[in-house]
């Protein structure tokens, strides 16, 4: 099993707000010394007595009973990954990444992306651009708001598409592509609005009369997704770039 070596500097007390996990199938349980764990089995089926801490790093593992568990201390006797908390590299205003030159990922999850994109009529370049922007292809990515996995699905969105484990790449991609297909239909294929809604929510796009909301994060996100989509399209088929022009956030269509 691959190990993610990303560490979080986010404090335990501010990480998982109950609202972020509502409807996700996870439970917040309290172990020794008040340390919290986040798991998909009810608290009365957990053995939390051995957990002590707290720490600023969060570890994802699977218990012998099959529960997915997040804890503030590395679990003893089982494989775990250190989860990066933060997510969405393309959302960061202080990003130093050169989005016109950063390395593309053309191979990971190719079969799942292709199958889901073809089934739902979504450009594979857009799917890869969103994954790159949201998680940099890290299936264990977790945001401060509770968005999960490759396409950073919020628990409500994951539940809408029948996801039982948002950290499972296949489930995450299939649901994320379905969501993109719904957004493309809603916005008549306008990928700038699709990206804006993916970042800020459909309500924010509606609030500004179906334009890209004037939020700094959303504007840079839309621009970066556009750059990535164009580059992924060019990498797959140079002629396809003609059909995926980069539109700066707020620019006229």
Q: From first to last of the 253 residues of the chain, give the pLDDT tens digit.
A: 333 333 332 323 333 344 443 344 445 555 544 545 554 444 544 443 333 333 235 677 888 888 777 776 777 888 877 665 667 999 999 899 999 999 999 999 999 999 999 999 999 999 999 999 999 999 988 887 888 999 999 999 999 999 999 999 999 999 999 999 999 999 999 999 999 999 999 999 999 999 999 999 999 999 999 999 999 999 998 665 444 444 444 443 3
Measured distance CA(123)–CA(114) in Å, rounded: 9
pLDDT at 244: 46
pLDDT at 129: 98
pLDDT at 176: 98
**CB-based contacts of 67, cutoff 8 Å, min separation 6:** 39, 40, 41, 45, 46
Q: For the chain, what are the domain ranges?
A: 12-83, 89-137+168-243
Measured distance CA(187)–CA(197) in Å, rounded: 10
pLDDT at 28: 57
84 classed as catalytic: no
Measured distance CA(189)–CA(180) in Å, rounded: 10
Q: Which residue of the set 69, 84, 119, 134 is catalytic?
A: 134
- Three-state SS across 161-190? CCCCCCCCHHHHHHHHHHHHHHHHHHCCCC
At residue 25's C-alpha, the angle toward residues 23 and 29, to 5°, is 110
3-class SS shares of the chain: helix, strand, coil, % to 5: 40, 10, 45
Phi–psi pair at 6, nearest 5 degrees: -75, 135
Structure-derived torsion over alpha carbons of residues 18, 139, 224, 174, reported in degrees to the nearest 10: -90
| Cα dihedral sign, 217-159-185-114 | positive
- Give the residue among 86, 94, 175, 70 at the shortest CA–CA distance from 136: 86
pLDDT at 41: 45
Report the predicted TM-score, pTM, of the whole model to 2 decimal places: 0.67
Strand partners, 28: 38
């Amino acid at each position: 099993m691959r190990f993610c070596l990303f560490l979080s500097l986010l404090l335990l007390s501010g990480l998982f707000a109950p609202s972020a996990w509502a409807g996700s199938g996870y439970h917040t349980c309290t172990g020794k010394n008040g340390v919290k764990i986040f798991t998909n089995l009810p608290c009365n089926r957990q053995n939390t007595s051995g957990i002590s801490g707290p720490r600023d790093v969060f570890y994802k593992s699977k218990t012998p009973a099959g529960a997915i568990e997040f804890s503030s201390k590395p679990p003893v006797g089982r494989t775990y990954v250190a989860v990066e908390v933060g997510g969405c590299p393309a959302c960061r205003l202080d990003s130093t990444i050169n989005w016109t030159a950063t390395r593309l990922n053309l191979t990971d999850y190719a079969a799942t992306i292709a199958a889901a994109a073809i089934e739902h009529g979504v450009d594979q370049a857009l799917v890869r651009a969103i994954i790159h922007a949201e998680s940099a292809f890290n299936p264990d990515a977790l945001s401060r708001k509770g968005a999960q996995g490759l396409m950073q699905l919020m628990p409500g969105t994951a539940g809408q598409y029948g996801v039982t484990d948002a950290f499972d790449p296949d489930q995450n991609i299939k649901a994320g592509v379905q969501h993109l297909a719904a957004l493309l239909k809603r916005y008549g294929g306008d990928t700038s609005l699709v990206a804006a809604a993916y970042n800020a929510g459909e309500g924010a796009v509606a609030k500004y009369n179906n334009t890209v909301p004037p939020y700094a994060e959303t504007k840079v996100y839309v621009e970066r997704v556009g750059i990535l989509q164009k580059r992924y399209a060019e990498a797959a088929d140079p002629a396809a770039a003609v059909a995926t022009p980069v539109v700066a956030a707020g620019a006229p269509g």
